[in-house]
């Protein structure tokens, strides 16, 4: 699992109060899945699978990103903060 360097932060009156979550890259098959987690996950992750939000997509793939590089990523986000009765899981 690799840290993408992108973080979700909580702010109070415009000042960062703490880092809420980090975004990590998990290899699943021959592509990469982005995982949102408050702590660096191990080789496995479980949570809710949703489409990748637009703002995260633009943070990870700014204008000028090679489309071939972007194609290596699933257009999905696995959020480990979500607790469901039937979690989605993956192993590297």
Q: Report yes or no: 56 and 77 within 8 Å, Cβ to Cβ.
A: yes
Domain spans, the chain: 2-84
| pLDDT recorded at residue 90 | 54
Helix or strand run (H / E) with residue 61: none
| pLDDT recorded at residue 87 | 47
| pLDDT recorded at residue 83 | 57
CA-only gyration radius of the chain, Å: 14
Q: How high is the mean pLDDT in each 10-residue block of the chain (92 residues)?
A: 87 81 93 92 87 94 93 95 55 52
DSSP 46: E
Q: Report yes or no: 67 and 90 within 8 Å, Cβ to Cβ.
A: no
CA distance linking residue 9 with residue 16, whole number of Å? 6
| pLDDT recorded at residue 85 | 42
| pLDDT recorded at residue 11 | 79
């Amino acid at each position: 699992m690799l840290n993408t360097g992108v973080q979700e932060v909580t702010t109070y009156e415009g000042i960062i109060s703490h880092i809420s979550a980090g975004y990590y890259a998990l290899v699943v098959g021959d592509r990469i899945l982005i995982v949102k987690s408050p702590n660096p996950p191990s080789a496995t992750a479980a949570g809710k699978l949703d489409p990748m939000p637009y703002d995260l997509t633009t943070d990870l793939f700014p204008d000028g990103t090679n489309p071939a590089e972007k194609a290596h990523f699933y257009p999905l986000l696995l959020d480990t903060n979500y607790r469901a009765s039937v979690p989605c899981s993956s192993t590297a």
